[in-house]
Amino acid sequence: MSFFKEYKSIISLILLGGLVFLFTIKFDSVLETFRMGMDAVMPLIWGILIAFILNIIVKCFERIYFPTKVSGWQHTTRRPVCVVLAILTVLLAIFLVGRMAIPQLVHSLGIIVQALPGLYDESSKWVDQFINNTPYISTSGVMNSISTENVVEQLRQVGADSGRYIMKTMSDTVEMVFNFVIGLIFAIYVLLDKEVLRRQLGRVSRAYGKEHRIKGFVHVWRVASQVFSSFFIGQFLDALILGLMVGVGLWCFSVPYAMTIGCVIGLTALVPLLGAYIGGLMGLIMLLSVNMMDALIFLIILVVMQQIEGNVIYPRIVGSSVGLPGIWVFAAITIGGTLYGVPGILLSVPLAATIYKLIKEDVDKRLEHKPDSNETYI
């Protein structure tokens, strides 16, 4: 035992070097193992995300559902009833928005698809007129070099690629739905037994951890809990305000489907940075089937409202509570979305904000014991 204590640092360096060497020569295998591991825990990541969001709503219902009762059936049923009410609230909100938006979106897509043949004919006429009115193109052999066989082959290739893309999209969608369902079940267990889990984690920490490390872990947990709660509450309020602003703006200009588009943008804006653009694309598709001028008005209103939201509202509601600079928000969303998709986007910002806040605390603490200096190193 004394041997390991005496050479602990040397043994640690040897093990670390061995791991780095193994990672270098078996990079593909290690990466594949990592991906398999992440695929296995993805439902749990969904569950943690859902639990954080639902926990905010559960707390609101617990303040209403017999909050002063500490015994009896009211106390026993408080948590299960509030969890069920929270789930029903979220499902009802999604259902109402989907009930308003999806039929209109499908109808608009149908109108656009029906208009495609006429648009193709108009485009063909325009191309023919352009070629006939352009001497260089009409007299050169450019058009003659385009054979029917090449066009057919290209169309076949596009069709094959589209088929593979559709199959992959369907597979990814089924996988995401499966992960969401498993994650929801896991989140329900977490919410129902969160006090038990907290006590068990505390007992394990006291049994195996040192006092200063336990205090550090508790501090990290409290910071993360505060940041995550502030982020999700702020993101919800920000999305709600943006949806109302866009909806009211469209209504003032008598644009069709104003409130429906506002609800869609409010729902999609829950996804940081990218959500409003997704909602904007859906609204644009709806309006293109009605009137090009209405679609243009919508784009102008959306851009103006997003500028107001991004520069005035978001920094006050989300930015001040999370405290993460814009460059790191963009970096976190890029990395999280690339690695884990939608849950990665939603979790990356509060996770990066937690790390940023902890590093800032440590930097401030270390600089307290050093003399002030105006010297810059970059």
- Full-model pTM: 0.67
- Where do the H-state alpha helices sit in the chain? 2-6, 8-25, 27-62, 72-132, 135-139, 148-192, 194-208, 211-252, 258-268, 275-288, 292-308, 314, 320-322, 326-367
Q: What is the pLDDT of residue 248?
A: 92
pLDDT in tens, 299-356: 999 989 888 887 777 777 766 666 777 778 778 888 887 777 777 777 888 888 888 8
**Do residues 183 and 49 make contact, with C-beta atoms less than 8 angstroms apart?**
yes
Chain-wide mean pLDDT for the chain?
78
Count CB-CB contacts under 10 A for residue 341. Answer: 15
Query: Is residue 209 classed as helix, strand or coil in its secondary structure?
Result: coil
Contacts of 344 (CB under 8 A, 6+ apart): 335, 336, 337, 338
**Do residues 345 and 272 make contact, with C-beta atoms less than 8 angstroms apart?**
yes
**Do residues 329 and 273 make contact, with C-beta atoms less than 8 angstroms apart?**
yes
Q: What is the pLDDT of residue 146?
A: 52
pLDDT in tens, 312-321: 777 777 666 6
Q: Comparing 114 with 61, which gets the higher pLDDT?
A: 61
- Rounded to whole angstroms, the Cα distance separating 51 from 228 reads 11
pLDDT in tens, 110-135: 766 676 666 556 666 666 676 666 65
pLDDT in tens, 252-299: 998 888 888 888 888 888 877 778 888 888 888 888 777 788 888 999
pLDDT in tens, 169-209: 777 778 888 888 898 899 999 888 888 888 888 788 888 87
- Rounded to whole angstroms, the Cα distance separating 174 from 181 reads 11
Q: What is the pLDDT of residue 18?
A: 76
Give mean pLDDT, residues 141-147.
Answer: 51
- Rounded to whole angstroms, the Cα distance separating 264 from 261 reads 5
User: Where are the domains positioned within the chain?
Assistant: 41-124+154-208, 211-364
